[in-house]
Amino acid sequence: MEGKAPIMRRSALAAIAAIGSASLLVAGCSKADDNKDNNGSSAGANAATKGVVNASDKKGGTVTYELSDVPDSFDPGNTYYAYMYNLSRLYARPLMTFQPGAGEKGNTLVPDLAASKGVPSDGGKTWTYKLRSGLKYEDGSPITSKDVKYAVERSNFARDVLSLGPNYFQQFMAKGDKYKGPYKDKSAKGLSSIETPDDGTIVFHLNQAFQEFDYLVAAPQTAPVPQSKDKGVDYVKHIVSSGSYKFQSYEDGKQAVLVRNENWDAKTDPLRKQLPDKIVVKLKVNPETIDQDVLAGDAIDLAGAGVQASTQAKVLTDTAKKAGTDNTYGGRLVYMAINTKVKPFDKVECRKAVQYAIDKVSVQTAEGGPIRGDVASTVLPPDIPGYEKSDVYASSGSKGDAAKAKEQLKACGKSSISTNISARSDRPQEIDAATAIINSLKKVGINASLKQFPSGKYFTDYAGVPKFTEKQNVGLIMMQWGADWPSGYGFLQQILNGKAISQSGNTNLSQYDNKDVNSLLGKAIGTQDDTERNSLYTQIDKKTMDDAVLVPLTYFKVLLARPQNYTNLVSTAAFSGQYDYLNIGVASK
Amino acid sequence: MISYILRRTFAAVILLLVVSAVTFAIFFLLPRLAGQTADQLAQQYIGKSPSKADIVAVKHNLGLDQPVYVQYWHFIKGIVAGATYDLGPTTVHCDAPCFGYSFKNHQAVWPELTSRLPITLSLAVGAAVLWLVSGVVAGVISALKPRSFLDRTFMGIALTGVSLPMFFTGNLAILLFTYQWPIFGKTYVPLTENPAQWANTLIPAWCSLALLYSAIYARLTRSGMLETMSEDFIRTARAKGLRERTVVTRHGLRAALTPIITVFGMDIGLLLGGAVITESVFSLPGIGQYAVQGITDNDLPKILGVTLLAAAFVVFANLLVDVLYAAADPRVRLS
């Protein structure tokens, strides 16, 4: 998933985009990933990326989340932001979820509403889940498998009404293309490929083998919704809780207040602790104010996008404050796609010339320095399974190799190239990175002109429209991408699969349609063994790099300030490096 | 006088209609003329990988599959007679004045605007009182004692105030008076809930805004007063033996206030339409913040709703100023 737009892990990058050049100076000389600044009074820098900070079962108090933006929706069936996937688990329990754990440990899937992981059959085309017994909604009524089925139907098959979430179930359920959704299809049967033989069992029949289906059901779209209470888009105003908290109040675009759900039973839930009395989510808060509140220890930045540039400078130059930060990967790759349909980049040698020419350190500096990302050389980031360290186009200090670039250019039959590079006009760091790339390319005779487009229409009208890029000679396209779920398939499918190329809203910006890669992706998702599957993702990564269709620039990192007054803080890879919101409580002051 | 007010009110309604048509054309017609298709527009409001059927359904649901003039007619009809929308399992009627539904989250625009209006009103009125009083008082004192220490001090402050952008003074005020010395509250509380806390949380925003605006009023008042106080009728008033206070307030200030009323009407009208930066800096969920959200999401009904509301406030404020003029000066009515 990409950018600020609606995608899980496509966390609120608008905030990041606002970070200015001040960060460069600070980041350039900072080194926040050591752990030597522990002043004794705090857990130390990056402590929450290695374990749980302030572990406690203390109950009471109010936990406050602040967001500079507004989420797409609090409705679990109508959201695509990673932070809402994280937060919604407090009031909406999906079939599966992620174990609260530090870093990549947080990628571990565990049953939530389901009693155990899905049981595959028919070679991975059928998945069966048994619900835990004794599950209840906030009103005391029982939760049944029919409610889970209905939740999937409303969230994936009624996109004219609930349009903001992903539609993987629509894509992968058998006969999913025929079903009109519960608002139009009034039959009692609903989608025939989801069966509920009894109130405690749900069976999904897919149109292809899909061995990562447990990841799909970890989406909030599988959190139960009672059909009788569903008001379509207005359901967000009266969400019926299945989690440990329920809504006390909801003001659209302003604030939501959650209080304990008395009908939640800890015996049915090994994950949640229900610690604070109240959870307040404040929206549209000034980003500077959020940082101040976080540093004062009284709030959590809900988006988890990291502190502002001015705050970054402050915390990194103060040893005590720096000890209260977590600098971690956000499961994202900053890269530049090379459009294989725009000449001369249809020739691999010309693409390789670009690969060798780019000074990645200058791009890293433009992006905000090492604190905002490590220099990248693979498609998969280090916190996604399948990542294997390699650098096909290695150069001294990652500063580019002009000689090799010129060699490749010659092999391509060119002495110079004129092309355009696109970037989002409202993302200053992306513009700066593109400018750094232009300067690198110029040294080897590749002249790229910057074309800026607004991020809101980047995919629907410009970079994501193949005809537009071909007509406008846009050979190079700036991009940032994170997985919908932490696996090679979740990361690679939308950006490398030839079948994902669409005429508008396209995210396979290279227009890469390689039979081997398409086949490997299909094979991987049908492979049951995790190790074997991950090795296939590694192969895809290598094949893509050999074909030079995209230039990995940086593995995106966030710098989180850790609120000292809160407990159970752990930065998880499952949610783009955010703190896991399931069990955050309030410490004694 | 009544006929004058009726004439001006009618003109104001026509003006608002023109504003609505122009705004609608800017957001709905121009993109089409520039080559954007209804499919591309609809796709902005769907999640990833929409199928063709999804796009067609969303386009239909948002009314984007109709000609632009039909869409405009539905919009105007909704303001006058309300509209009916499909929200999923049920259809709901949006009562007049229905400004449409957000394309992004499908929430009605008008209730959002009305729920946010008290916040913007609180901000604008409080700040207006402050800047009007401080600006006029400073301007009068400066005019009465030109080139004095007080004059130079007030005008220096005025110049500084007007030179500092809100995102600087606002953030500085928050930093100093909310975090460094936590005197004022951070979260807006409605007036009806707790008047003291309402004022407590708004004071930094009022002062920051007043600092920006009072500078203009101080300078306007000063120049107006300097000019007025040298007029013959002031000399006559003094010759008649009137007290200096009476000369200044009843004769000097009254005459100098005319341009200030005009500017004040415009300023308050504009502010009520959304103090975008101030509301963003102080995290006040008012009309301005709603406008920012609409722009961020490219949510056309939200932008259209705020634009029309802001235009209505400006038009109404101007109408009020004109009526006040007419009441004060019969020649205005005749012209």
The mean pLDDT values, 10 residues at a time, for chain A of 589 residues are: 42 37 34 35 82 94 93 92 94 96 86 97 96 97 98 92 87 91 90 96 96 96 97 92 97 94 97 97 91 92 88 88 91 95 96 97 93 95 92 95 95 94 89 96 96 84 91 95 90 90 87 95 93 96 96 95 95 92 88
Best mutation target, A284, A308, A506, to test chain B (most B CBs within 10 A) = A284
Question: Kind and range of the H or E element at A36?
Answer: none
Q: How far is CA B74 from CA A236, A556, B59, B108, in A?
A: 26, 46, 15, 15
- Give A-chain residues touching B117 at CB under 8 angstroms: none
Test A231 with B90 for CB contact under 8 angstroms.
Answer: yes
- Give A-chain residues touching B179 at CB under 8 angstroms: 292, 296
pLDDT over threshold 70, residue B139: yes
Nearest chain A residue to B186, by CA: A289
Whether the ω angle into residue A111 lies within 30 degrees of 0, i.e. cis, is no
What tens digit of pLDDT does each residue of B32-42 get? Answer: 888 888 888 88
- Give B-chain residues touching A289 at CB under 8 angstroms: 174, 186, 283
Give the residues across from A476 on adjacent strands.
Answer: A338, A421
In B64-86, which positions are buried (b, 16+ CB within 10 angstroms) versus exposed (e)?
beeeeeebbeebeebbeeebebb
Best mutation target, A155, A180, A254, A285, to test chain B (most B CBs within 10 A) = A254
Tell me the pLDDT band of B256, cut-offs 50, 70 and 90: confident
Pull the structure tokens for residue A292. Answer: 């101040």
3-state secondary structure of A126: strand
CA distance B224 to chain A (A): 39
Reduced 3-state DSSP string for A408-463: HHHHCCCCCEEEEEEEECCCHHHHHHHHHHHHHHHCCCEEEEEEEECHHHHHHHHC
CA distance B109 to chain A (A): 11
Question: Kind and range of the H or E element at A210?
Answer: none
Residue type, A144: T
Q: How much is the pLDDT for B215?
A: 86
- Give A-chain residues touching B293 at CB under 8 angstroms: 69-70, 253, 284
- Give B-chain residues touching A167 at CB under 8 angstroms: 47-51, 54
Query: What is the residue-wise DSSP string for A508-531?
Result: -TT----HHHHHHHHHHHT---HH
Nearest chain A residue to B42, by CA: A460
CA distance A265 to chain B (A): 31
Test A233 with B290 for CB contact under 8 angstroms.
Answer: no
Pull the structure tokens for residue A315. Answer: 């915390």
Test B90 with A232 for CB contact under 8 angstroms.
Answer: yes
Cβ-based neighbour number of residue B154 at 10 Å? 25
Residue pair A210/A526 in contact by the 8 Å Cβ criterion:
yes
What tens digit of pLDDT does each residue of B40-51 get? Answer: 888 878 877 777
Percent of chain B clearing pLDDT 70 (strictly above): 96
Residue pair A571/A328 in contact by the 8 Å Cβ criterion:
yes
Burial of A229 (0-12, 13-18, 19+ CB in 10 A): middle
Residue pair A524/A537 in contact by the 8 Å Cβ criterion:
yes
Tell me the pLDDT band of B12, cut-offs 50, 70 and 90: confident
What tens digit of pLDDT does each residue of B298-335 get? Answer: 888 898 899 889 888 888 888 888 777 766 655 565 55
Over its C-alpha atoms, chain B yields an Rg (Å, rounded) of: 24
3-state secondary structure of A361: helix
Q: How much is the pLDDT for B329?
A: 59
Q: How much is the pLDDT for A3?
A: 40
Pull the structure tokens for residue A440. Answer: 């690198």
List the single residue in A167, A177, A457 with the smallest CB-CB distance to B47: A167
Pull the structure tokens for residue A370. Answer: 């090492």
What CATH number labels B110-328?
1.10.3720.10
Test A504 with B60 for CB contact under 8 angstroms.
Answer: no
Q: Is B51 on the interface with A (CB under 8 A)?
A: yes
Best mutation target, A68, A163, A507, to test chain B (most B CBs within 10 A) = A163
Test A504 with B43 for CB contact under 8 angstroms.
Answer: yes
CA distance B273 to chain A (A): 18
Q: How far is CA A482 from CA A83, A284, A329, in A?
A: 13, 24, 11
Q: Are strands A300-301 and A62-66 parallel, antiparallel or unpaired?
A: parallel
- Give A-chain residues touching B61 at CB under 8 angstroms: 160-161
A404 phi/psi in degrees, rounded to 5: -65, -35
Start-end ranges of CATH 1.10.3720.10 in chain B?
110-328
3-state secondary structure of B324: helix
Question: Kind and range of the H or E element at B315?
Answer: helix B300-328
* Structure ipTM over 0.90, yes or no: no
How far apart CA B256 and CA A480 sit, in angstroms, is 59
Interface of B with A in 251-290 (CB under 8 A): 280-283, 285, 289-290
Helix crossing, B149-163 with B109-144: angle to 10°?
Answer: 150
A369: region left, alpha or beta (phi > 0 left; psi from -120 to 50 alpha): left
- Give B-chain residues touching A283 at CB under 8 angstroms: 285
Give the residues across from B83 on adjacent strands.
Answer: B94
Burial of B169 (0-12, 13-18, 19+ CB in 10 A): buried
Mean pLDDT of B183-211: 91
Q: Which of A223, A227, A218 is nearest to A245 (CA)?
A: A223
List the single residue in A164, A254, A288 with the smallest CB-CB distance to B171: A288
A351: region left, alpha or beta (phi > 0 left; psi from -120 to 50 alpha): alpha
Question: Kind and range of the H or E element at A489?
Answer: helix A488-496
Test A161 with B61 for CB contact under 8 angstroms.
Answer: yes
* HSE value, Cβ hemisphere, 13 Å, CA-based, for A352: 20
CA distance A404 to chain B (A): 39
Nearest chain A residue to B85, by CA: A161
Test B105 with A72 for CB contact under 8 angstroms.
Answer: yes
How far apart CA A384 and CA A381 sit, in angstroms, is 6
Mean pLDDT of B57-77: 87
Q: Which of A577, A531, A532 is nearest to A557 (CA)?
A: A577
* HSE value, Cβ hemisphere, 13 Å, CA-based, for B114: 7
Q: How much is the pLDDT for B335?
A: 52
CA distance A166 to chain B (A): 6
- Give B-chain residues touching A284 at CB under 8 angstroms: 280, 283, 285, 289, 293
How far apart CA A181 and CA A204 sit, in angstroms, is 16
- How far out from the chain centre does Cα B182 lie? 29
Residue pair B187/B248 in contact by the 8 Å Cβ criterion:
no
Number of residue pairs across A and B with CB atoms under 8 Å? Answer: 142
Pull the structure tokens for residue A43. Answer: 């857990």
- Give A-chain residues touching B88 at CB under 8 angstroms: 154, 158, 161-162, 183, 230-235
Query: Where does B62-108 have alpha helices with state H?
Result: 68-81
Q: Is B65 on the interface with A (CB under 8 A)?
A: no
Q: How far is CA A25 from CA A36, A368, A406, B200, in A?
A: 22, 8, 32, 38
Give the residues across from A479 on adjacent strands.
Answer: A335
Test B49 with A183 for CB contact under 8 angstroms.
Answer: no
Test A161 with B106 for CB contact under 8 angstroms.
Answer: yes
- Give A-chain residues touching B92 at CB under 8 angstroms: 234
- Give A-chain residues touching B283 at CB under 8 angstroms: 282, 284-286, 289
- Give A-chain residues touching B49 at CB under 8 angstroms: 166-167, 171, 494, 500, 502, 505
Q: How far is CA B101 from CA A230, A455, B82, B120, in A?
A: 19, 23, 11, 21
Over its C-alpha atoms, chain A yields an Rg (Å, rounded) of: 24
Test B45 with A163 for CB contact under 8 angstroms.
Answer: yes
Tell me if the pTM is above 0.90: no
Q: Is B153 on the interface with A (CB under 8 A)?
A: no
Q: Which of A425, A453, A426, A449 is nearest to A439 (CA)?
A: A449
Whether the ω angle into residue B204 lies within 30 degrees of 0, i.e. cis, is no
- Give B-chain residues touching A252 at CB under 8 angstroms: 105, 107, 112
Cβ-based neighbour number of residue A540 at 10 Å? 29
Pull the structure tokens for residue B128. Answer: 């207006």
| Tokens 């060798």, located at residue | A356
